[in-house]
Amino acid sequence: MKPKLVVIGAGMASGRALEHLVEAAPDAYDITLFGAEPRGNYNRIMLSPVLSGEKTYEEIVTHDADWYAANGIATRFGDAITGIDRERKVVVTAAGETPYDKLLIATGSNPFIIPLPGHDLKGVLSYRDLDDTQAMIDASTIPGAQAVVIGGGLLGLEAAAGLALRGMDVTVVHLMGHLMERQLDEAAGYLLRRELIGRGIKVLCSANSSEILGADGRVTGLRLDDGTELPCDILVMAVGIRPNVALAKEAGLATGRGIHVDDQMITSDESILAVGECVEHDGAVFGLVAPLYDQAKVAAATLLEQKAAFKQRTVSTKLKVTGVDLFSAGDFAEGEDREDIVFRDPARGVYKRLVLRDNRLIGAVMYGDTADGSWFFGLMNDGADMSEMRETLIFGPAYQGGAALDPMVAVAALPDEAEICGCNGICKGKITTAIANGATTLDAVRMTTKASGSCGTCTGLVEQVLAVTLGEDYAAPAAKPVCDCTDLTHEDVRRLIKASELKSMAAVMQECGWKTSCGCHVCRPALNFYLLADWPLEYLDDPQSRFVNERNHANIQKDGTFSVVPRMWGGITTPDELRAIADAADKYAVPTVKVTGGQRIDLLGVKKADLPAIWSDLNDAGMVSGHAYAKGLRTVKTCVGTDHCRFGTQDSTAFGIAIERRMWGSWTPHKVKMAVSGCPRNCAEATCKDVGVICVDSGFEVSVAGAAGMDVKETEALGKAPTEDEALDLIVAFVQLYRENAKYLDRPYKWVAKVGMDWVRERVVEDAASRTALIGRFDLSQGIYQTDPWAERATPKAQRDFAPLANLTLEAAE
């Protein structure tokens, strides 16, 4: 008699294993195949085309009734195994027992359902099998139906795209900062998101679900933890899978995350094998079919007592959404021992990144043009040495074999008709003619031909044309790029952020052709400022792109402690405030209390973990953060003015306080300090500040762009105003102009030196409409950013964030 083989699970892995088995030895076993689904093996990965309507179920069946019959396989579909009795070697179903000599477990995995309130409502679906797919298709036939998909990974996005194609209004809710974070880096995630949004799919990243809403037992919406509610008729949860190990575990087989198997796919019981997503091999579990097919082959061989061993290998991923070209393989994390080659073509929306280690390709991410994906994947699996083709590798196989590209030679070889500037349609001939007529600098070429004057990405090319044409005579411009991540200057980047409406860091890095995947400590703080200054409503501040002081809202000291400076509006304080400061100093054992040069008090040497608590105490006494750490408004110093001084002409103290109240909390390219003196004796030192006001009998003289730090410079007159309100308008408009135009880390005096006082006066003083618009934009931004960071951190979560993650010293003491 033939030995009996029982197979649990009619999925992709077992289907492939059976094929190998019957092909190699049709009569080796008496086979019975059990499946919980009421149907035989089909190609699960093609459910997405079924969902989108591009394929039918019939087209994705891999093994039909004829095939099972022809190969003598008894099928028991819709009959789930409920137990394995290893002692008696039988499997149990509702219909009875079936004996085995060899057992193959291929139970796949279960979709993970986040146990949110409401997860058991009708209409909450997972995406795993044909029934799920059919339920989604049915829901999409209701006119105006809405769907929410939780999970912006492979499955969630395929579900979202399919439902959108079926006419549903779809929103994807993703916990992480960018889509498909396990397969894609941020840059590619950005492009993918842009594409999906273009298809009318709403995409919310960094969004945390808090509750599924329902009525009459059916889902009606999803609430996020920020309170947003998204109405929906179905909610698809695609947040990951868990190996289906319950059966094996109950039978006493060794399991971890999956069923433990050795290289031969044998479990801890030598009569039992396992393959597919339910297994764990050498610490790894699986979620893509390529390795499962390898396992299937090995399992078939093992069953036939042939030698074979399963080896894990690199896998590659593609998203099966028609029209989206995306490829990812291997390990694309950054690292010291790795080298990145990045290629971006902003105009075509193409991004490619290769990761090399020891001159070998170990990872690749591509978006927009994935034609070379399989070639790179091959190189990766070969582990071939890339030194020879390093220079041209990223251009793909078509460019290999020739000599390394010398950009200069390549530019020299371009014909006159070759287009250099795509935006303005300027060809090389036009540029060389302009050069011959005397345009010998980049600016001159720009002025006469417009080349590189729009998006600026061809600047490098234009410079090369200049260099090739002029030879030795060409002096490259001294404009300094932001940092090594880009060739663009701060000014270029600011202009592009506005002109191309770039509203996220990933958008800037993609569209401006950043050479690194996530920037560095030089460009990230600058970009963060530019984005929040230009798009206060759309851009979300990124604390991780801020320097330590701004991230912690306190100045770090040389020993790692921090200083705390409450605002003292215009330098005015009260006995109550002073008592609260003294109490806080006692309570938190503050080693130094100092009067600063900015007319307020500094508590120096506070431990980081104490910050939220001391802030909260000072908040209770009515004080807010003094932003002594911020590239933002610092202090407005005042003198005593008409209230007390015999020379005072205006209430300088009250005006200083009014300015500070209006402008505190605003972020600026560098810090901004102001002062108001009650008369030209200038006791508040207003004439060496970023903005200074001298009160006179007839009103207020506003001057700007002074300095008293590393440089000392007197302010320059901006304008004179008869009333406080008009003076404040001038100040606000000036600061907003500075916020919108200056390079990050330029104090106003440096910026004004570049643009000229006339240019500033024209926009702030002479043109009333421009002044009003500047003030409007400042106030808009204040609507979002004028918040006290101390009060915001009075929450238990913030207090936890400032404390150590864990304390292992306690653990050791136990």
Partner 1 sequence: MRDFIDIGALEDIPVRGARVLKTPLGCIAVFRTAEDEVFALEDRCPHKGGPLSEGIVHGRAVTCPLHNWVIGFEDGTVQGPDEGAVPTWAAKVEGGRVLVDVALTAKRNAA
Residues of this chain, 61-120, that bind ligand SRM according to CB under 6 A: none
Minimum CB distance to ligand FAD smaller for 315 or for 755: 315
Residue 181's binding partner out of partner 1, ligand SRM, ligand FAD, none, with CB under 5 to 8 Å set by partner kind: partner 1
Q: What is the dihedral of CA 120, 125, 128, 130, to 10 degrees?
A: 120
Of 710, 808, 810, 813, the one binding ligand SRM by CB under 6 A:
710
Of 208, 374, 557, 723, the one binding ligand SRM by CB under 6 A:
557
Separation CA 378–CA 554 (nearest Å): 51
Residues of this chain, 156-175, that bind ligand FAD according to CB under 6 A: 158
Minimum CB distance to partner 1 smaller for 226 or for 388: 226
Residue 652's binding partner out of ligand FAD, ligand SRM, partner 1, none, with CB under 5 to 8 Å set by partner kind: none
The identity of residue 198, as a single letter, is G
Residues in the chain: 814
Quick one: which segment of 122-130, 335-343, 418-426, 788-796 binds partner 1 (CB under 8 A)? 335-343
The identity of residue 494, as a single letter, is R
Please give the backbone phi and psi of residue 437, each rounded to the nearest 5 degrees, phi first: -85, 10
Taken in order 304, 306, 309, 315, the sign of the CA dihedral is negative
Does 546 participate in binding ligand SRM (rule CB under 6 A)?
Answer: no
Does 284 participate in binding partner 1 (rule CB under 8 A)?
Answer: no
Going by their DSSP bridges, the two strands 279-281 and 259-261 should be labelled as parallel
Does 600 participate in binding ligand SRM (rule CB under 6 A)?
Answer: yes
Of 218, 257, 644, 661, the one binding partner 1 by CB under 8 A:
257
Does 548 participate in binding partner 1 (rule CB under 8 A)?
Answer: yes
Quick one: which segment of 267-275, 297-305, 336-344, 398-406 binds partner 1 (CB under 8 A)? 336-344
Separation CA 235–CA 243 (nearest Å): 23
Minimum CB distance to ligand FAD smaller for 13 or for 31: 13
Residue 7 C-beta: closest distance to ligand FAD, Å: 9
What distances in angstroms separate CA 642 from CA 53, 142, 336, 647, one per listed residue?
Answer: 79, 73, 63, 7
The identity of residue 70, as a single letter, is A
Does 277 participate in binding ligand SRM (rule CB under 6 A)?
Answer: no
Q: Count Cβ atoms below 10 Å from residue 328 Cβ, excluding itself.
A: 25
Separation CA 81–CA 103 (nearest Å): 12
Residue 602 C-beta: closest distance to ligand SRM, Å: 5
Are 778 and 666 in contact by the 8 Å Cβ rule? The answer is: yes
Quick one: which segment of 61-69, 216-224, 451-459, 590-598 binds ligand SRM (CB under 6 A)? 590-598
Unique residue bearing structure tokens 């349609």: 425
Does 523 participate in binding ligand FAD (rule CB under 6 A)?
Answer: no
335 Cβ neighbours under 8 A, 6+ residues apart: 357
Residue 543 C-beta: closest distance to partner 1, Å: 7
Separation CA 51–CA 146 (nearest Å): 16
Does 742 participate in binding ligand SRM (rule CB under 6 A)?
Answer: no
DSSP string for 23-37: HH-TTS-EEEEEESS
Quick one: which segment of 117-125, 146-154, 519-527, 715-723 binds partner 1 (CB under 8 A)? 519-527
3-state SS string for 690-751: CEEEEEECCEEEEEECCEECCCEECCEEEEEECCHHHHHHHHHHHHHHHHHHCCCCCCHHHH
Are 119 and 111 in contact by the 8 Å Cβ rule? The answer is: no
Count of residues of this chain found to bind ligand FAD when the rule CB under 6 A is applied: 34
Quick one: which segment of 155-163, 576-584, 597-605, 607-615 binds ligand SRM (CB under 6 A)? 597-605
Does 459 participate in binding ligand SRM (rule CB under 6 A)?
Answer: no
Separation CA 563–CA 554 (nearest Å): 6
Residue 634's binding partner out of ligand SRM, ligand FAD, partner 1, none, with CB under 5 to 8 Å set by partner kind: ligand SRM
Edge-first strand listing for the sheet containing 169-173: 124-125, 234-237, 146-150, 169-173, 202-204
* Nearest residue to the partner ligand FAD, using Cβ: 11
Site string for ligand FAD, 90-109 (x = CB under 6 A): ----------------xxx-
Does 510 participate in binding partner 1 (rule CB under 8 A)?
Answer: no
Output the furthest CA–CA distance in the chain (Å, rounded).
118
Separation CA 207–CA 28 (nearest Å): 54
Residue 39 C-beta: closest distance to ligand FAD, Å: 9
Are 515 and 485 in contact by the 8 Å Cβ rule? The answer is: yes
DSSP string for 433-479: HHHHTT--SHHHHHHHH-TTSSS-TTHHHHHHHHHHHHGGG-----P
Does 800 participate in binding partner 1 (rule CB under 8 A)?
Answer: yes
Show the DSSP H helices in 489-539 as ranges.
490-499, 505-511, 523-534
Does 594 participate in binding ligand SRM (rule CB under 6 A)?
Answer: yes
- Shortest CA distance to 719 belongs to which of 697, 739, 691, 743? 691
Of 15, 111, 258, 519, the one binding partner 1 by CB under 8 A:
519
Minimum CB distance to ligand FAD smaller for 269 or for 577: 269
Site string for ligand SRM, 604-643 (x = CB under 6 A): ------------------------x-----xx--------
Does 481 participate in binding partner 1 (rule CB under 8 A)?
Answer: no
Of 747, 761, 763, 793, the one binding ligand SRM by CB under 6 A:
747
Quick one: which segment of 258-266, 510-518, 587-595, 614-622 binds partner 1 (CB under 8 A)? 510-518
Residue 770's binding partner out of ligand FAD, partner 1, ligand SRM, none, with CB under 5 to 8 Å set by partner kind: none
415 Cβ neighbours under 8 A, 6+ residues apart: 428
Residues of 480-516 as b/e, b for ≥16 C-beta within 10 angstroms? ebbbebbbbbbebbbbbbeeeebbbbbbbbbbbbbbb
Count of residues of this chain found to bind ligand SRM when the rule CB under 6 A is applied: 20
Quick one: which segment of 7-15, 683-691, 747-755, 767-775 binds ligand FAD (CB under 6 A)? 7-15
Residues of this chain, 274-333, that bind ligand FAD according to CB under 6 A: 276-277, 287-290, 292, 320
What is the binding site for ligand FAD (CB under 6 A)? 8-14, 34-37, 44-45, 47-48, 80-81, 106-108, 127-128, 155, 158, 244, 247, 276-277, 287-290, 292, 320
What is the binding site for ligand SRM (CB under 6 A)? 555, 557, 563, 565, 594, 596-598, 600, 602, 628, 634-635, 671, 673, 707-710, 747
What is the binding site for partner 1 (CB under 8 A)? 176-177, 181-182, 185-186, 257, 332-338, 516-521, 524-525, 543-548, 551-552, 556, 558-560, 800-801, 804-809, 811-812
